[in-house]
A and B are shown apart, each in its own frame.
Chain A
């Protein structure tokens, strides 16, 4: 039985992960994100268990680098773009786990390895049924989304 909306679960989970691991606060926002370009980092993973679906995060490269620097305690000049990408994968993994455990506390989910996702564009719009949330961070925006497969 779903009581709390998925939007709230995502908001709470993003805040928990960014505050405890990256010492960064996040505010849900309705503002339009800056233009998504080729330098945006997208990570997604699939989950299986009491429900089946997928989860993802995306952010501009500068935002992803800021998150990674905070998580890894590195100076910007020490951080590689590969580490920024890996960190976004780990953020996706932790936020997804936090969302799912708020949704279902007893039964376990299996999560796939985070991997790069295709960019959302006018040619490739977000699928129907995706719950997407935007967050304003100290530097830029983070977008987190969740899809639950219907009829599983």
Chain B
């Protein structure tokens, strides 16, 4: 089954890296869309159904924490799994993001197989992790 993925990061370079890693990881990616911040992500989610959101935290306009709050409060979209990919590895931030409903948390820098494995885990696709690396 192919999953539609929304990548949310203010860095175009990082969005490209995440997209490439997901493609290489063996994770079955269907449509892969991008957004530069939380507001753009909500606009995409208004018009497209995405199976999983991969989001940074530190972004302009609407950060990843606010995006998670919005999604959690949205009856239509609260079930969409969210994977956080961030430079912040503090205990505080991790607990806060998980409490807001994040399903997984990967810190940057990451090994390609780490991201693939995290995606496979939250999507319940254990056989898909990182065989390409």
Contact = CB atoms under 8 A, between A and B. Distances in A.
Interface of A: 16-17, 20-21, 68, 71-73, 83, 86-87, 89-90, 93-94, 96-98, 101, 104-111, 113
Given A20-B109, A111-B58, A90 B91 contact: no
B17 interface: yes
B13 A106 contact: no
B88 A108 contact: yes
A86 B15 CA distance: 12
A68 B108 CA distance: 16
B43 interface: no
Interface in B90-133: 90-93, 96, 107-111
Nearest to B114: A20
28 contacts: A20-B109, A21-B109, A21-B110, A71-B17, A72-B13, A72-B16, A72-B17, A83-B12, A86-B11, A89-B11, A90-B14, A94-B108, A94-B109, A97-B87, A97-B108, A98-B87, A101-B89, A101-B107, A105-B89, A105-B91, A106-B91, A107-B91, A108-B90, A108-B92, A111-B58, A111-B87, A113-B10, A113-B58
The interface size bin for chain B is: 20 to 34
Given A68-B13, A73-B20, A17 B109 contact: yes
Given A68-B13, A97-B86, 19 more contacts: A72-B16, A72-B20, A73-B20, A93-B87, A94-B87, A97-B88, A97-B89, A97-B107, A98-B87, A98-B109, A101-B107, A104-B90, A107-B90, A107-B92, A108-B93, A109-B88, A110-B58, A113-B58, A113-B60
Nearest to B87: A97
A86 B11 CA distance: 7
Contacts of B91: 105-107
Q: Is the interface of A mostly helix, strand, loop or mixed?
A: helix
A20 B115 CA distance: 12
Contacts of A90: 11, 13-14
Contact of A96 (B87, B93, B111): B87
Given A86-B11, A94-B109, A21 B88 contact: no
